[in-house]
Amino acid sequence: GNPQPSDSCCSASQAVDVPAGSDAVRHGGVHAAQTACIFLMRPQSNPRERVIEEFKNLYHTDPSFLVRAPGRVNLIGEHTDYNDGFVLPMALSQSIWIALSSQPNPEVELHSLDFEESVNVPLEENYEKSRGWQEFLKGVLDILKQEGYSLSGWKGVAAGDIPIGAGLSSSA
């Protein structure tokens, strides 16, 4: 039978059952073919307030910057944009928020409230592939380095209200 949420890495309070083998996605691109659950966003306060509050709790200061990447959905042209095709995206009211400040260490320290995980990514190293939400961060940092940008360390807290696994994405 299908594994239950308690049998996988999901807890019942964070997950709902989905059919095994469905197109549902969790953890940044791991298909649900081997699991019976999918993460949902917490319905607490809005993500803007959550990232500011948690930043203050973690670092005992206000963040220097607050950034927002709105969610989006492609009305037409799914998977054509990276093949020089036409696409018609539409912005959503749901977003990913990051509260951040610079730090002297040459690394990015990011805490995800939605995944209840933190990651430290050194800016001076090559990145090994793994799985999970942190791969998006490492990919952006890698592209910026390849393009010749001078990167500085920062620390931050991220959260969003874009449903994970719903076929939506952030415009980040």
H helix runs in 10-151, sequence order:
47-59, 134-146
Q: State the DSSP code for 13.
A: T
For 10, other C-beta atoms within 10 Å of its C-beta total 22
For 134, other C-beta atoms within 10 Å of its C-beta total 20
Strand bridging mode 30-31 / 117-122: unpaired
pTM reported for the whole predicted model:
0.69
Q: For 57-100, how does the pLDDT look when each residue is reduced to its tens digit (9 = 90+)?
A: 999 999 999 999 998 888 887 777 677 888 888 889 999 999 99
Q: For 6-42, how does the pLDDT look when each residue is reduced to its tens digit (9 = 90+)?
A: 333 443 334 343 343 334 333 333 333 444 444 444 4
Q: State the DSSP code for 62.
A: -
Residue 149 contacts by C-beta under 8 Å, 6 or more apart in sequence? none
Give me 23's structure tokens.
């197109």
Q: For 96-136, how does the pLDDT look when each residue is reduced to its tens digit (9 = 90+)?
A: 999 999 999 999 999 999 999 999 999 988 888 888 889 99
Question: Please, what's the b/e burial string for 89-120 (b: 16 or more CB within 10 A of its CB; e: otherwise)?
Answer: eeebebbbbbbbeeeeeebbbbbbbbbeeebe
Rounded mean pLDDT, 132-151? 93
